[in-house]
């Protein structure tokens, strides 16, 4: 079997693709894969690191307002399609899969023009422009959230969850080794991060919260994102139980040891939390399309699996208050989170690949 797959920009589009590939490789040891991304996106680091063949194209996202940049985007889209037509005729993929981000647009579009079966995976409860545009001609559209079907009225949709959740369940963890690696004791772990690139608002709140967190019977692991790390370290008060990290490549290992997660409400994060049954404090990004992170978080908040803090209400005080509340109600919130998970999402998406290939 030959698979061409594309998704990029953030980890939320990349990790589900890698989780699917892992599942397909188990089924087809001779699987041939070509991952298409951009040279400046996070995929240019994560995909080769995972040992997956990678090629880049030049493309940019459309602006939602009138802009001369859209003329450049249209030009690079056409150029990418011409390049991809040659690539697909050489590689001859059986199925082409898009997991989101603007880079997947020309990849799936080209496959559809060539009559190659295509699958889209939508991680968010509210879809992006790329997937909505491509969905009408896609052979299957796989959704992460029940209730999102109405966003694709003319598509062949299946609700399967997010493959990233399946991936974290496969992680074998030696908690003693993990604690030793990060220099933390046996107290509960509060893991705080702001997505693959970090979040300045969360940085400010954590810095404000550290004096209070220093007296709590917890270990705090705070992942700042590479671009924010030096600034946070320079400003953050010192506390023996607060550990600041720039980036974590093996996040599933840390998640498996955590008692509470504080994070944005990206789709991959939601899938990881519910697969593992982790209670959380969710701080949706207000800068994403259609405020979809707030919608992503709603099922967890409504079921009692998470607390939500709007970025405008976020401070050191509100963060510490929520951390104390969730830890006090840990067991019931963890059970509520577990009930929302899709533990077999990667296998379900691989089943769709087999369907359209046949």
Q: Can you say which residues are annotated as belonging to the binding site for UDP-N-acetyl-alpha-D-glucosamine? A: 10-12, 124, 196, 293
Q: What is the DSSP letter of 144?
A: S
Q: At what angle do helices 292-303 and 330-338 cross, to 10 degrees?
A: 120
Distances (CA, A) of 56 to 35, 45, 95, 312: 8, 12, 19, 37
Locate 189 and state its tokens.
């772990």
* Secondary structure class of 11 (helix, strand, coil): helix
Whether residue 40 contacts residue 61, with contact meaning beta carbons closer than 8 Å, is answered with no
Q: How many CB atoms lie within 10 A of CB 259?
A: 17
Q: How far apart are CA 85 and CA 21, in angstroms?
A: 23
d(CA 59, CA 309): 35
Beta bridge partners of 192: 222, 262
Taking the C-alpha atoms of residue 315 and residue 233, their distance in angstroms, rounded to an integer, is: 18
Q: Nearest CA to 160 among 140, 137, 139?
A: 140
Counting every residue written for the chain, the total comes to 358
Q: Are 8 and 14 in contact (CB under 8 A)?
A: yes
Q: What is the H or E stretch that residue 261 is in?
A: strand 260-263
Q: What CA–CA distance (Å, rounded) separates 336 from 328? A: 15
Q: Find residue 308's DSSP bridge partners.
A: 282
The annotation places the binding site at 10-12, 124, 196, 293
């Amino acid at each position: 079997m030959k698979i061409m797959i594309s998704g990029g920009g953030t980890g939320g589009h990349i990790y589900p693709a890698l989780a699917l590939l892992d599942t397909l490789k188990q089924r087809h040891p001779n699987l041939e894969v070509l991952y298409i991304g951009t040279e400046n996106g996070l995929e240019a680091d994560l995909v080769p690191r995972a040992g997956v063949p990678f090629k880049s194209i030049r493309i940019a996202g459309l602006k939602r307002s009138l802009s001369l940049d859209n003329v450049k985007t249209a030009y690079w889209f056409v150029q990418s399609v011409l390049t991809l037509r040659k690539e697909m005729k050489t590689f001859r993929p059986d199925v082409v899969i898009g997991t989101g981000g603007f880079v997947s647009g020309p990849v799936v579009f080209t496959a559809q023009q060539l009559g190659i079966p295509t699958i889209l995976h939508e991680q968010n409860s509210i879809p992006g422009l790329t997937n909505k545009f491509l969905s009408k001609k896609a052979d299957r559209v796989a959704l992460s959230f029940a209730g999102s079907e109405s966003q694709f009225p003319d598509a062949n949709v299946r609700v399967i969850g997010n493959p990233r959740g399946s991936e974290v369940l496969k992680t074998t963890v030696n908690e003693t080794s993990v604690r030793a690696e990060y220099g933390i004791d046996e107290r509960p772990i509060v893991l705080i991060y702001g997505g693959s690139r970090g979040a300045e608002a969360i940085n400010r709140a954590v810095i404000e919260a550290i004096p209070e967190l220093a007296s709590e019977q917890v270990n705090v692991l705070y992942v700042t994102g590479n671009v924010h790390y030096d600034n946070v370290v320079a400003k953050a008060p010192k506390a023996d139980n607060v550990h600041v990290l720039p980036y974590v490549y093996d996040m599933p290992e840390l998640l498996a040891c955590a008692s509470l997660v504080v994070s944005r409400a990206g789709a991959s994060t939601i899938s990881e939390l519910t697969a593992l049954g982790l209670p959380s404090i969710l701080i949706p990004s207000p800068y994403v399309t259609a405020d979809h992170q707030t919608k992503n978080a709603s099922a967890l908040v409504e079921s009692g699996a998470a607390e939500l803090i709007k970025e405008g209400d976020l401070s050191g005080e509100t963060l510490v208050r929520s951390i104390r509340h969730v830890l006090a109600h840990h067991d019931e919130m963890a059970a509520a989170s577990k009930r929302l998970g899709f533990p077999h999402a990667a296998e379900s998406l691989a089943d769709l690949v087999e369907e359209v290939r046949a």
